[in-house]
């Protein structure tokens, strides 16, 4: 049920994955706009700011409201995400749905496909009011979204469609396994989910993300050249840097790494490019490249697969008991009956929610390491700290969220922690070794003259780098429509989160990002 059609679980899994890489600034949406005053902070404090450190901005009253109401919303959406399958299950509606599906579909396989479509359509409608409020009304109320209702609805329906396709293509598998191997189905399903999830990660940036956003080469060629030079230092082979048009939808800023193998890419929101100066963009890129070269996509993916396995086992252990006890209300007595889908969804969601803090803790760990990588390679503490302050203001992030928020929702360290870390982490000044220096040929931090971050200076980017161009294509060829539109796993998930795919739980008011 990994890829359970219901976007919720799928969404959670994907979201967690994405979240982790998406390292970026995704916080959020700008509070009304990244007011110039806030942004100005960074430019006003050049040398001295480095000495004293960049202060963590106090959250505005609006950011506080967004944070507090977001927590209430998260709890409500989480409960709703559990209540809907429970309702469909205990009311016996699911059994009726399966009867209708059987009448329409005839035959095992088609019955499952039709059931999946009907179920998802019903859930979509039940979720619609909440997703409209969370994804549209509320975002506009806080000045974070510029999306038109038509575009929001269009994206929401596209997300539904993507979910339907995935569900129809995969739902038969766990049911086949439930039928053939009632005792081990959870194990085989988890094993089958590994390649399926990997496939999803692989195609997401080229087939799914482009449905929602327009991707293209970077417009700022001078900045692109600097990014390429940075990529050259870490010897990144393959991959692309793309710019995605998000300004049509949002004020928020973000960047992320997505895809696997040949579809791997770093994506920068155009809003980020508009609001950060070149030095800040470079440290963000350093962070993203850290995810890239440290293999964070893979490690997080592996962890999630393990959590899915554990969760499916828990589902398996409780499934039989619940069906025996409530079969009259459910209207079915065999777990291999597709009418059991809401039960599987409900159990998976509940158990995965329990496992979620583990995935998030790991995500925060790799985000911290990506920050470290970005600092080591650029040595631009000021640029990173000020980039986070912009992120905080722009995305309406709450800098010091409470422990429960951190445990269940934070994919990144808090903004305050990140700013403080960016201020103080400078092992090269104490002659200490760099943690990741080997990735860019600096084993001893103190030896090499640190590519000093020169505020405002334009270190000319190397103009001729044929080899680099080959390895790090920033300009997708026109012959590659998929690439052009390439987005990222992250983006899809984000889209999903925002527009409805995982309609439930995923309300998108997170305070951190990048
Ligand atoms: Zn990151």
The beta-strand segments (E) located in 221-370 are: 241-244, 255-258, 265-269
- Dist. CA 495–CA 22, nearest whole Å: 13
Neighbour tally for 98: CB within 10 Å: 24
Give 3-state DSSP helix, strand, coil % of the chain, rounded to 5. Answer: 65, 5, 30
pLDDT of 170 > 70? The answer is yes
pLDDT by residue (tens digit) across 218-251? Answer: 888 899 888 888 888 887 755 578 899 998 888 8
**For residue 251, what pLDDT is reported?**
84
Active site residue 288: yes
| d(CA 210, ligand 1 centre) in Å | 22
pTM score of the predicted model = 0.78
**For residue 261, what pLDDT is reported?**
78
Tell me which of 233 and 480 has the higher pLDDT.
Answer: 233
| d(CA 171, ligand 1 centre) in Å | 32
513, 28 in Cβ contact below 8 A?
yes
pLDDT of 264 > 90? The answer is no
pLDDT of 473 > 50? The answer is no
DSSP for residue 434: P
| d(CA 293, ligand 1 centre) in Å | 12
Catalytic residue among 139, 224, 251, 288, which?
288
| d(CA 198, ligand 1 centre) in Å | 20
**For residue 514, what pLDDT is reported?**
63
> How confident is residue 82, by pLDDT bands cut at 50, 70 and 90?
very high
**For residue 474, what pLDDT is reported?**
32
Percent share of the chain, pLDDT over 90: 58
> How confident is residue 476, by pLDDT bands cut at 50, 70 and 90?
very low
| d(CA 85, ligand 1 centre) in Å | 33
CB proximity list for 500: less than 8 A, separation 6 or greater: 7, 124, 127, 128, 131, 135, 155, 156, 159, 160
pLDDT of 448 > 60? The answer is no
Which of 4-18, 90-104, 260-274, 481-495 bottoms out in mean pLDDT, i.e. has the lowest?
Answer: 481-495
User: What's the average model confidence in pLDDT over 116-122?
Assistant: 96
Q: Return the biggest CA–CA distance within the chain.
A: 75
Which of 82-91, 313-322, 490-499 bottoms out in mean pLDDT, i.e. has the lowest?
Answer: 490-499
User: What's the average model confidence in pLDDT over 304-319?
Assistant: 95
| d(CA 163, ligand 1 centre) in Å | 26
User: What's the average model confidence in pLDDT over 96-108?
Assistant: 94
pLDDT of 444 > 80? The answer is no
pLDDT by residue (tens digit) across 148-164? Answer: 999 999 999 999 999 99
pLDDT of 283 > 80? The answer is yes
User: What's the average model confidence in pLDDT over 415-434?
Assistant: 94
pLDDT of 46 > 70? The answer is no
User: What's the average model confidence in pLDDT over 53-78?
Assistant: 94
Percent share of the chain, pLDDT over 70: 75
pLDDT by residue (tens digit) across 190-220? Answer: 999 999 999 998 898 889 999 999 898 888 8
**For residue 51, what pLDDT is reported?**
56
Locate the domains of the chain by residue range: 7-499
When the pLDDT of each residue in the chain is averaged and rounded to a whole number, the result is 79
Which of 300-314, 412-426, 447-461 bottoms out in mean pLDDT, i.e. has the lowest?
Answer: 447-461
| d(CA 312, ligand 1 centre) in Å | 28
pLDDT of 165 > 90? The answer is yes
- Dist. CA 448–CA 438, nearest whole Å: 13
Listing DSSP states for 44-80 in one string gives H-SHHHHHH-PPPPPPPHHHHHHHHHHHHHHHHHHHH
């Amino acid at each position: 049920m990994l890829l359970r059609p219901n976007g919720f679980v799928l969404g959670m899994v994907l979201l967690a994955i994405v979240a982790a890489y998406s390292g970026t600034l995704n916080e959020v949406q700008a509070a009304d706009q990244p007011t110039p005053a806030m942004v100005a902070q960074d430019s006003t404090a050049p040398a001295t700011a480095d000495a004293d450190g960049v202060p963590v901005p106090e959250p505005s009253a609006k950011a506080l409201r967004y944070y507090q109401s977001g927590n209430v919303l998260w709890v409500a959406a989480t409960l709703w995400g559990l209540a809907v399958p429970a309702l469909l299950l205990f009311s016996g509606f699911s059994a009726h749905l399966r009867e209708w599906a059987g009448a329409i579909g005839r035959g095992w396989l088609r019955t499952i496909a039709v059931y999946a479509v009907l179920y998802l359509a019903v859930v979509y409608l039940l979720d619609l009011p909440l997703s409209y409020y969370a994804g549209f009304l509320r975002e506009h109320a806080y000045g974070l979204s510029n999306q038109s209702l038509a575009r929001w609805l269009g994206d929401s329906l596209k997300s539904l469609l993507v979910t339907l396709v995935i569900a129809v293509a995969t739902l038969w598998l766990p049911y086949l396994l439930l039928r053939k191997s009632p005792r081990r189905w959870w194990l085989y399903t988890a094993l089958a989910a590994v390649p399926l999830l990997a496939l999803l990660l692989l195609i997401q940036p080229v087939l799914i993300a482009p449905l929602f956003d327009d991707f293209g080469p970077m417009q700022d060629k001078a900045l692109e050249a600097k990014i390429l030079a940075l990529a050259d230092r870490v010897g990144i082979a393959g991959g692309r840097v793309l710019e995605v048009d998000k300004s049509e939808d949002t004020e928020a800023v973000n960047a992320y790494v997505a895809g696997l193998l040949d579809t791997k890419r770093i994506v920068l929101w155009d809003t980020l490019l508009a609001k950060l100066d070149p030095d800040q963009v470079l440290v963000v890129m350093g962070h993203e490249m850290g995810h890239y070269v440290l293999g964070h996509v893979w490690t997080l993916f592996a962890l999630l697969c393990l959590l899915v396995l554990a969760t499916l086992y828990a589902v398996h252990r409780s499934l039989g008991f619940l069906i025996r006890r409530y079969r009259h209300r459910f209207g079915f007595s065999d777990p291999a009956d597709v009418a059991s889908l809401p039960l599987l969804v409900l159990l998976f969601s509940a158990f995965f929610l329990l496992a979620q803090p583990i995935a998030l803790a790991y995500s925060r760990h790799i985000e911290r390491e990506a920050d470290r990588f970005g600092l080591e390679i650029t040595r631009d503490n000021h640029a990173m700290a000020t980039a986070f302050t912009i992120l905080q203001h722009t995305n309406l992030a709450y800098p010091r969220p409470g422990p429960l928020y951190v445990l269940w929702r934070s994919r990144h360290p808090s903004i305050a922690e990140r700013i403080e870390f960016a201020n103080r982490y400078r092992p090269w000044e104490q002659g200490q070794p760099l943690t990741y220096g080997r990735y860019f040929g600096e084993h001893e931090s103190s030896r090499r003259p640190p590519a000093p971050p020169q505020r405002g200076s334009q270190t000319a980017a190397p103009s001729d780098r044929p080899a680099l161009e080959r390895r790090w294509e920033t300009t997708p060829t026109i012959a590659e429509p998929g690439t052009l539109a390439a987005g990222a796993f992250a983006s899809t998930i984000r889209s999903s989160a925002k527009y409805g795919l995982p309609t439930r739980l995923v309300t998108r008011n997170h305070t951190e990002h990048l």
